[in-house]
Structure 1
Amino acid sequence: MYCTTDALSATETNPDGTLVQHTVPTYRSTDLTHWTYVGDAFDAKPAWVGDANGIWAPDVVYRAGTHGRTGTWYLYYAASDTPSATAPTGGGSAVGVATSSSPTGPWTDSGGPVVAPRSGPTGGDRWEFDPEVITDRGTTYLYFGSYFGGVVVRTLSADGLRSDPASERQIAIDNRYEGAYLMRHGGWWYFMGSATNCCAGSLTGYGVFVARSRSPLGPFVDRDGVAITSTRVGGSPLLAQNGNRWVGTGHNTVVTDYAGQDWIIYHAVDRNDPYYAGQATYTKRPVLIDPLDWRGGWPVVRGGAGPSDTKQAGPVAQPGQRPSYRPARAPVDVPGRLIRSASTGFDGSALPARLTWTREPDASTYSVGDGAFRWQTQDADLHPPQTPLASVLTEPAPRGDWVLQTTVAVDTPANGDGVNYVQGGLIVYGDDGNYVRLVSNSIFNTRQTEFGKQVSGQPAGAPTYGNMVVGPVGDTTTLRIVHRTVRGEGHYTAYTSVDGRHFVRGGTWTADLGASPRVGLISLGGSGFTSTFEDLRVSTVRSSHR
């Protein structure tokens, strides 16, 4: 197992008190569960990368030798930056490669980039991170990229040391995915990519999404048929936090055991112990493994249950072992009985009396009519102490477990930049500093559903807001938050739909929103647009195994 450059413990420190960084720490295992550290891939960083810059996100592949020659291992890596003409940094990120006759080295760097730094689509250097290498029908491809510039693919030279810029093709739009992983299953190529922030402590909302194509060059589309190159970005949630101690479950690879069972390996954050001791904002990301099952041509993790946090059956890592893992279908939560006293279809010409304002907006900015509530987006948000604070329209949340749902259209254009973070949707509101919200959002040039959590009382310097993303945005998007109390703790799970019938399940935030939380709507992030809500529905919740 090859890891990104990182600290391995809170006790191994430099003279200045910072944590020692291991440059591609490498581990060996005979059971895929217990791992032994065998050393770092690099004792010194290659000169073209420079000591001031990071070596991240390795991908290792093996090429067999010919005519009796020994095969070669190739370690591809991201250089977080490179030297400029005048400074040790500022030259832009790149992809490099080192080779060895052994999977544990020693490694010899090629001496230059496989992918050289390049400008992004709107100026500045694009992020050439997270290499992934596959071979299909005799051609070897290198995938790389991140939020700034998106994920792209190039063909590699026969010796694996250079890529062809002229062959480059866009695989995923910018501002959504990084950490690409490609695998073939059942005649399809599956793209897996991670989204949002990898390293925000207990507010990390990182997760893995999947799309598929008959060709490794795409186009890749999700379960809803939406492409990951679309500005209304496609991608079906594959691995998302589920309310146990693990959050930020992302940046994966897949291994197949001797029984033919696939396993997904990824890093995550323990929300109860997110930071290295003595390092207030340095997020720890231990490695986890869970079974990857297949259902209807799509992968699911642990039968749909998501990441585990208790002892589980492990892989068949040696020939002759008997498998102990048995797939089981996990239930999903769906609406039960409609709570009519808490629901509205916005009939008539006025808001129901039970919906009340926090910071009531000017009456000219909202209206009720023709079975809809129209509310102009506000040039404000809900991230105290930043001001101005946006208006919130809410009613008391029901007791017990419940489902909150709305169908909304936000009239930002389907593509184009310049309307960043304009959004409308649902909120479960404790107060201005403690809430969860599920919205149809404009994120730079993309339109995405975002599930965010705001929390007060964080350590100094730590984030107070975390976000994850869910399914695609449509002309109208149905947003659903399911609340359950689990062992005395509030769990809030996001679902989205582009047709109001088939829902995509996202991740779960745990949140303490006080004894009397409220539920309702928001329309904020920038002026000049309108959120149109068709309804606000509150229901009981039941489990389904469909």
Structure 2
Amino acid sequence: MNRTAGVVLVVALAAALVLPGAGFAQEEQTYRNPVSRGVVDAFPDPAIIRGGDGYWYAYGTTDPVRQSKGDDDFHFLPIMRSKDMVEWDYMGDVFTETTRPTWHPSADTFYWAPDVRYMNGKYYLYYSVAHFGDDELFTIGVATAPSPTGPWTDSGGEVIDRDSCDTNPIDPAEFTDKDGKRYLYWGSYGDICVALLTPDGLRVAGDATRVTYGGQAEAAYVIRRGRYYYLFISEGACCSGALSSYEVLVGRSTDPLGPFVDKQGVSMLASRRGGSFVMSANGNRWVGPGHHSMATDLAGRTWAAYHAIDKNNDFLNPPYDDISRRPLMIDPLDWVRGWPTVRAGRWASAGRQRAPVTSWTAGGDFNSPESLDTDWVARGAGRAGWRLAEDPDHDGYATQTRETDKPAYLVTKASAPARARVEADLRTSGTSNGAVGVVAAYRDRGNHFVAWLNERRHALVTNAVVDGRRTVHAIRPLPESFRFDEWHNVAVQLRGSSLNVQVTEARLGDPVARIRRHLPPGVTGSGAAGIASLRASALGDNAGGAPLYHRARETAPPPNVGEEALENFSDEFNDARLDPEWSFVREPAGEQTGGVYRFPTQGADLFEDINDATVVRRKAPSGNYTVQTKMAIDLGVDTDKSFQQAGLVMYSNDDRYLKLVHVSIGPDRRTEFAKEDPFYESMVVGAPARVTWFRISHRVDRKHNEQELRAASSRNGKHWAWGGVWTLPLGAKLDIGLVSQGGEGSTARFDYVRTFRP
């Protein structure tokens, strides 16, 4: 097993890991990104799933990912495996030259952006086909397998109707709703669309519905949490080395078909498209974080698996030194007041972090022939009926061979804590009308909790027993298509008096049934975890309990802007003439009138080799500061006004600047935070409006000899969307500037320019 990811084990007796009344000491594992270090050189667009054998599996885009091993070959959807999401092993590829699909051309064809699921009792891998040449083809395929490593059987054709959505038809993501209906989302650098899938998951079965408005959106990923569906997208340049501007945005809806809106209620279908930040560049060495999938650890915490680029080591080695090096990263996805953000808004980590919880306080995977005797004890009926069995996916699992009329329990000898997540993979033989369940807080037959998959009721049923009496009973119907003879994960989270039970196919954020309850006193407490059987030939695996994760309560604070504007670096534009501190790069343009600086958009630009636009500039202070302006410009919506734009610029010269503007790109309108040094890429920072407030916060990072500049925008001057960070060398002198360019026909009106000290 690879050890280069740098796992450190520390015995942690801190109060945060010792739960009241439990008396448990938990080993604390740590990690440092990238977790694929030493195994593969790159692992773009990662998809992750926990297999039936208890390992996590990750799948990546086709790239020459093994150069450091002396291998320059392109690997068709490489596979890695890990027991802890930190130390990974390379497990081969989904396709080889001899096993790749034959329904599309083979020459000059690559497979990108996989999405992995467990459905219908097998693994599905949706993938993008990218065929270059005169007969160019971009589309989506799917392969299935009995285990996460294969063998993979391709479906033999396209999953989607390529002409049904105005987009580059790649980047698939499947989602299963609570009614059992399956959907596929896809799209890149155009609309994101969704369509219903056939029950077998191999083809779309209905018309495509658009859920985002154009732009650079791609890499959709959808989960359901509570009553909301969350649509995650990646935006920007994925693969431009140190100038990569990839970032992750999110909107939510009460319907899987949308409309999805951001925190401010702005629709992702609007020309001025909404989207709240999940992750962007934060000023450390990692840039372009995005194209993520999600995993849930044994403590119930959600983790984002994504790629990013080390700006100090941004390309692969020759002969592929034009391909960005995008390794596998992981970081926790925190939920604060109903919205997700990576590391509570701190985004990609560069230092050592607390690792996912991947071992149980009490529990196991039944892979050892002695495990029934060493780790488990039978209680209730059918004690002699528990056996070990095997299959290719799950390796070892436990099965109750007797269909008892009273519950049979197989529980851990050790106890899980009172505040815990307890889970198990469960199924029945499909030949009875019985039930199989996950057991939590088991002290004896008269004091325990069970969440049942009840075949007779075709429902998730929960029972809590205290002093021999059933005190909590709840039922949630399961989808009509639910198969009890296929593996499902049932997870029970006990947090104080709060109970949360979910049924999923593979722990990927798409529960088909869910029960939430407040529990009366006496129901919870430390106790054994396990599986239960009632009138069924029940099968269980990967069963156990671990301390429940601690939720983030607040997001990381935004930059401290300050309150008093610096008089020598600010202008209210209310004098008789323009402040003499302003000067012009190229011909003077615009005028100060009526308390604003009126600046018509020029038929000129500041973009790479085109440098004929006017920059109105003045000196910036030294040290840390924030520049703010309020600007009105009517670019309309939906019509093509490319590339009219206006806003702030932090200007060094024509080949080194940062620009924060409201811009029209085709019918799209966006707040663009761009960097040219010497090439040009851009992030988005919130949805613009006819009147938009802009901020650029400047911070000196002497440790890394850099300047960090972070942008924010607001539609009302009160609620700010803080976006990503660009960096420049510390020695690059910057001026504060205004631009209005990209084509004649509109006029920007700047109310003021104010500069603040934190």
Same fold, TM exceeding 0.5? Answer: yes
Question: How do 1:241-260 and structure 2 match up within 5 A?
Answer: 241-260=281-300
Q: What SS class does the counterpart of residue 78 from structure 1 fall into?
A: strand
Deviations 1:417-454 (A, max 9, x none): 2x222111111111111111111111221100111111
Cα separation, 1, equivalents of 2:753 and 2:321 = 40
The answer for the alignment partner of 1:460 in structure 2 is: none
Question: How do 1:301-316 and structure 2 match up within 5 A?
Answer: 301-316=342-357
Amino acid at match of 2:744: S
The answer to whether the 8 Å contact 2:700/2:730 transfers is no
The answer for the alignment partner of 1:461 in structure 2 is: none
Q: How many Å apart are 1:212 and its aligned residue?
A: 0.4
Q: How many Å apart are 1:389 and its aligned residue?
A: 2.2
Question: How do 1:414-429 and structure 2 match up within 5 A?
Answer: 414-417=637-640, 419-429=641-651
Identity %: 39
Amino acid at match of 2:718: R
The answer for the alignment partner of 1:60 in structure 2 is: 116
Q: How many Å apart are 1:10 and its aligned residue?
A: 3.2
Question: How do 1:153-232 and structure 2 match up within 5 A?
Answer: 153-164=194-205, 166-232=206-272
The answer to whether the 8 Å contact 1:314/1:325 transfers is no
Q: How many Å apart are 1:117 and its aligned residue?
A: 2.8
Deviations 1:440-490 (A, max 9, x none): 11122110011111113xxxxxxx112111100112111100000012310
The answer to whether the 8 Å contact 2:628/2:754 transfers is yes
Q: How many Å apart are 1:329 and its aligned residue?
A: 4.3
Pick the aligned partner of 2:612 from 389, 394, 418. Answer: 389
Cα separation, 2, equivalents of 1:181 and 1:127 = 16
Cα separation, 2, equivalents of 1:191 and 1:387 = 37
The answer to whether the 8 Å contact 2:335/2:551 transfers is no
Q: What SS class does the counterpart of residue 580 from structure 2 fall into?
A: coil
Cα separation, 2, equivalents of 1:280 and 1:378 = 38
Cα separation, 1, equivalents of 2:551 and 2:259 = 33
Q: TM-score, length-normalised on structure 1?
A: 0.89
Deviations 1:352-395 (A, max 9, x none): 1111111123xxx52222221111112222234x2342111111
Deviation larger for 25-34 or 74-83: 74-83
Amino acid at match of 2:88: W
Give every structure 1 segment of 4 or more consecutive aligned residues whose post-TM-superposition deviation is greater than 6 Å.
Answer: 323-326
The answer to whether the 8 Å contact 2:693/2:713 transfers is yes
Deviation larger for 521-530 or 490-499: 521-530
Q: How many Å apart are 1:82 and its aligned residue?
A: 7.9
The answer for the alignment partner of 1:358 in structure 2 is: 585
Cα separation, 2, equivalents of 1:326 and 1:10 = 40
The answer to whether the 8 Å contact 1:520/1:536 transfers is no
Question: How do 1:344-383 and structure 2 match up within 5 A?
Answer: 344-361=571-588, 366-383=590-607
Q: Is the aligned partner of 1:292 residue 2:349? A: no
Q: TM-score, length-normalised on structure 2?
A: 0.65
Pick the aligned partner of 2:180 from 138, 143, 156. Answer: 138
The answer to whether the 8 Å contact 1:366/1:375 transfers is yes
Q: Is the aligned partner of 1:93 residue 2:138? A: yes
Deviations 1:178-225 (A, max 9, x none): 000111112211110000110000000100001001111111000111
The answer for the alignment partner of 2:88 in structure 1 is: 35
Pick the aligned partner of 1:147 from 189, 196, 199. Answer: 189
Larger CA Rg, structure 1 vs 2: 2
Deviations 1:241-296 (A, max 9, x none): 10000000011111111111111111000001101122442211011111111111
Deviations 1:499-529 (A, max 9, x none): 1110001000011274532112111112222
The answer to whether the 8 Å contact 1:291/1:302 transfers is yes
The answer for the alignment partner of 2:696 in structure 1 is: 481
Amino acid at match of 2:643: Y
Structure 2: state its 5+ residue gaps.
Answer: 1-57, 362-545
Q: Is the aligned partner of 1:400 residue 2:626? A: no
Cα separation, 2, equivalents of 1:108 and 1:31 = 28
Question: How do 1:438-453 and structure 2 match up within 5 A?
Answer: 438-453=660-675
The answer for the alignment partner of 1:21 in structure 2 is: 74
Q: What SS class does the counterpart of residue 535 from structure 1 fall into?
A: strand
How has the CA–CA distance of structure 1 residues 368 and 138 changed in structure 2, closer, same or farther, with 3 Å as cutoff? same
Pick the aligned partner of 1:3 from 45, 60, 63. Answer: 60
Q: What SS class does the counterpart of residue 501 from structure 1 fall into?
A: coil
The answer to whether the 8 Å contact 2:262/2:268 transfers is yes
Pick the aligned partner of 2:127 from 54, 64, 77. Answer: 77
Q: What SS class does the counterpart of residue 449 from structure 1 fall into?
A: strand
Cα separation, 1, equivalents of 2:547 and 2:689 = 46
Q: Is the aligned partner of 1:491 residue 2:532? A: no
Deviation larger for 493-502 or 37-46: 37-46
Cα separation, 1, equivalents of 2:338 and 2:289 = 22
Q: How many Å apart are 1:410 and its aligned residue?
A: 2.4
Deviation larger for 314-323 or 170-179: 314-323
Deviations 1:104-154 (A, max 9, x none): 111111111011432764xxxx41111110111121000011113x10000
The answer to whether the 8 Å contact 1:314/1:324 transfers is no
Deviation larger for 204-213 or 465-474: 465-474
Q: What SS class does the counterpart of residue 67 from structure 2 fall into?
A: coil
The answer to whether the 8 Å contact 1:95/1:116 transfers is no
Amino acid at match of 2:324: T
* Alignment RMSD (CA, Å): 1.9
Cα separation, 2, equivalents of 1:338 and 1:501 = 17
How has the CA–CA distance of structure 1 residues 406 and 32 changed in structure 2, closer, same or farther, with 3 Å as cutoff? same
Cα separation, 2, equivalents of 1:325 and 1:428 = 41
Cα separation, 2, equivalents of 1:410 and 1:187 = 37
Q: What SS class does the counterpart of residue 234 from structure 2 fall into?
A: strand
Q: Is the aligned partner of 1:455 residue 2:677? A: yes
Deviations 1:28-75 (A, max 9, x none): 1110111111010011331222212221111111124xxxxxx22111
How has the CA–CA distance of structure 1 residues 280 and 391 changed in structure 2, closer, same or farther, with 3 Å as cutoff? farther
The answer for the alignment partner of 1:335 in structure 2 is: 561
Q: How many Å apart are 1:334 and its aligned residue?
A: 3.2
Q: What SS class does the counterpart of residue 272 from structure 2 fall into?
A: coil
How has the CA–CA distance of structure 1 residues 326 and 120 changed in structure 2, closer, same or farther, with 3 Å as cutoff? closer
The answer for the alignment partner of 1:47 in structure 2 is: 102
Pick the aligned partner of 1:508 from 705, 725, 729. Answer: 725
**Size of the alignment, in residue pairs?**
508
The answer for the alignment partner of 1:104 in structure 2 is: 149
How has the CA–CA distance of structure 1 residues 329 and 219 changed in structure 2, closer, same or farther, with 3 Å as cutoff? closer
Cα separation, 2, equivalents of 1:391 and 1:103 = 57
The answer for the alignment partner of 2:654 in structure 1 is: 432
Q: What SS class does the counterpart of residue 400 from structure 1 fall into?
A: coil
Q: What SS class does the counterpart of residue 568 from structure 2 fall into?
A: helix
Cα separation, 2, equivalents of 1:509 and 1:527 = 29
Amino acid at match of 1:177: A
Cα separation, 2, equivalents of 1:455 and 1:37 = 37
Q: What SS class does the counterpart of residue 201 from structure 2 fall into?
A: coil
Amino acid at match of 2:109: N
Identify, as 1 or 2, the structure richer in strand. 2
The answer for the alignment partner of 1:268 in structure 2 is: 308
Amino acid at match of 1:36: D
Amino acid at match of 2:669: R
Cα separation, 2, equivalents of 1:221 and 1:326 = 24
Amino acid at match of 1:76: Y
Cα separation, 2, equivalents of 1:82 and 1:157 = 29
Cα separation, 2, equivalents of 1:478 and 1:514 = 28
How has the CA–CA distance of structure 1 residues 329 and 391 changed in structure 2, closer, same or farther, with 3 Å as cutoff? same
How has the CA–CA distance of structure 1 residues 233 and 176 changed in structure 2, closer, same or farther, with 3 Å as cutoff? farther
Structure 1: state its 5+ residue gaps.
Answer: 65-70, 457-463, 542-546
Cα separation, 1, equivalents of 2:87 and 2:665 = 40
